[in-house]
Amino acid sequence: FFAIQHEVFMEHLYEKLQVIESDRHPLSNMERLKAITGPLLSWYDDHARSLPWRDQPDPYRVWVSEIMLQQTRVEAVKPYFNRFMEVFPDVKALAEADEERLLKMWEGLGYYNRAKNLQKSAKVIVESYDGRLPGSYEELLKLPGIGSYTAGAIASIAFGVPVPAVDGNVLRVISRVLASEEDILKASVKKKTEDDLRKIMPHHRVSAFNQGLIEIGAIVCVPNGPPRCHLCPLASLCLTRRFKSWDSIPVKSPKKPRRIEKRTILLLETDKHQIAIEKRPDSGLLASLYQFPNLEGSFDEAQLWRLLTSRGAEIKSIESAGTARHIFSHVEWQMNGYRIFLKGDIPAPYLSADVSQLRTKYPLPNAFGAYIKLLSGES
Ligand code: ADE
């Protein structure tokens, strides 16, 4: 009851507050942005979620968390982040990590280049900065895998440097506050937002200002479905709320549709429960990870039997392992798998692994998750 009363009260308050902006003298965009600072900071003080990297914002933790949080939800990141900090507690440990172990730690988070760039940067930081992340926005920007958003986040959250950190969350919040119909996927719109925020951000609270905007974007001004304006400290200033146009703002140009790729997955198994795997090339999609041998295109059992026999395999039997689908950013794999029971051992050039090694040793992308489960007897 009290919570509802509070919300109703807040809504009335927001309505009243709008009186300060008269119809004859609407705020300019910069005035409107300047006006968000006060309510944003008090809201953040009261509502910021307690997160492992927030509660202890040293540069290394902020860096790793920001990289993990790219394209990945907070709840999904938390367990990865905590494990990562245990295994690689500092920049030096990360720089010296075995790449395969690092990729195994990243398994399931996707976008594996993020992990490889983290390690490349860690090596640079050890060699050129004595193992400590540089505190300047410009120096951070030079490191592999660090763009304007991440450099801004690390500089402001860990070092208190007054630079903005504009990601998709922040672009959504700002374009909604201003009811801007500019395409937020355009680099020029991101640049303009960064320039504008840099001018109005309060220098004594840069971390709270940036994280407050990110937080509102994550839990109030949400991307899918109606924003939760009754909880928003910026509601009285928000032009999108005033015009009730949240379903058309932000504007995002349509992405080109994903390419669909049919793949036939070969689960080559021996009597001794060994399974064939191979390492993917060290560039391109899922670079340096392991996979089950697979073919582009759709093959049926008879075709596979002929093809593999012609390559020298001695097959006992083939049975279906079912279909699976995996969505990457630019491509979708539509997979059809087969369990292929072999007479002898796993033939070269494949590597031979048992199910427990698939789970603990080799980094295998999530795309093959359904087949790993099947081989483990879980489905
Ligand atoms: N997403 C990206 N950066 C974040 C942060 N610092 N806190 C919460 N969510 C985030």
Q: Is 248 exposed, middle or buried (0-12, 13-18, 19+ CB in 10 A)?
A: exposed
The tokens 């965009």 sit on which residue?
29
List all residues 6 or more positions away from 152 whose beta carbon is below 8 Å from its beta carbon: 137, 163, 164, 165, 166, 194, 210
Q: Atom 7 of ligand 1 has which residue's CA nearest to it?
A: 211
- For ligand 1, the distance from its centroid to the CA atom of residue 65, given in whole angstroms, is 8
**Contact 74 CB / ligand 1 (< 6 Å):** yes
| pLDDT, position 15 | 45
| Residue 281: pLDDT band with limits 50, 70, 90 | very high
* Token reading at 50: 């307690």
At how many degrees (to 10) do helices 59-69 and 113-129 cross? 160
Residues in the chain, total: 379
Using alpha carbons, select from 361, 202, 203, 344 the residue that is nearest to residue 277.
361
Return d(Cα 276, Cα 368) in angstroms, integer. Answer: 13
At how many degrees (to 10) do helices 99-106 and 74-87 cross? 150
Return d(Cα 322, Cα 325) in angstroms, integer. Answer: 11
**Contact 211 CB / ligand 1 (< 6 Å):** yes
| pLDDT, position 331 | 95
Whether the per-residue pLDDT at 336 is higher than 90: the answer is: yes
Q: What percent of the chain has pLDDT over 90?
A: 87
Q: Does residue 245 contact residue 176 with C-beta atoms inside 8 Å?
A: no
Pocket test of ligand 1: the residue of 66, 209, 219 to mutate, having most ligand atoms within 8 Å of its CB, is 66
Q: Atom 1 of ligand 1 has which residue's CA nearest to it?
A: 69
Return d(Cα 195, Cα 169) in angstroms, integer. Answer: 17
| pLDDT, position 224 | 86
Residue 56, CB half-sphere, CA atoms under 13 Å: how many? 7
Return d(Cα 119, Cα 128) in angstroms, integer. Answer: 14
List all residues 6 or more positions away from 201 whose beta carbon is below 8 Å from its beta carbon: 37, 162, 164, 209, 210
Largest interatomic CA distance in the chain: 85
The pLDDT tens digits for 118-167 are 999 999 999 999 999 999 999 999 999 999 999 999 999 999 999 999 99
- For ligand 1, the distance from its centroid to the CA atom of residue 214, given in whole angstroms, is 6
List all residues 6 or more positions away from 345 whose beta carbon is below 8 Å from its beta carbon: 270, 272, 274, 352
| Residues annotated as part of the active site | 66
Return d(Cα 299, Cα 37) in angstroms, integer. Answer: 60
**Contact 239 CB / ligand 1 (< 6 Å):** no
Return d(Cα 236, Cα 39) in angstroms, integer. Answer: 10
- For ligand 1, the distance from its centroid to the CA atom of residue 10, given in whole angstroms, is 26
Q: Atom 2 of ligand 1 has which residue's CA nearest to it?
A: 69
Q: Atom 8 of ligand 1 has which residue's CA nearest to it?
A: 215
| Residue 23: pLDDT band with limits 50, 70, 90 | confident
| pLDDT, position 7 | 53
| pLDDT, position 19 | 43
* Token reading at 204: 């004594």
Whether the per-residue pLDDT at 181 is higher than 70: the answer is: yes
Whether the per-residue pLDDT at 12 is higher than 80: the answer is: no
Grouping H, G, I as helix, E, B as strand and the rest as coil, residue 320 is strand
Q: Is 233 exposed, middle or buried (0-12, 13-18, 19+ CB in 10 A)?
A: buried
Whether the per-residue pLDDT at 334 is higher than 90: the answer is: yes
Whether the per-residue pLDDT at 251 is higher than 80: the answer is: yes
Averaged pLDDT for residues 170-191:
98
Whether the per-residue pLDDT at 112 is higher than 90: the answer is: yes
* Token reading at 15: 């309505």
Grouping H, G, I as helix, E, B as strand and the rest as coil, residue 51 is coil
| pLDDT, position 3 | 59
Q: What percent of the chain has pLDDT over 70?
A: 95
Averaged pLDDT for residues 42-53:
96
**Contact 175 CB / ligand 1 (< 6 Å):** no
Q: Which residues of 9-48 are buried (b: 16+ CB within 10 A; e: fewer)?
A: ebeeebeeeeeebeeeeebeeeebbbbbeebbbebbeeee
- For ligand 1, the distance from its centroid to the CA atom of residue 53, given in whole angstroms, is 9
- For ligand 1, the distance from its centroid to the CA atom of residue 2, given in whole angstroms, is 30
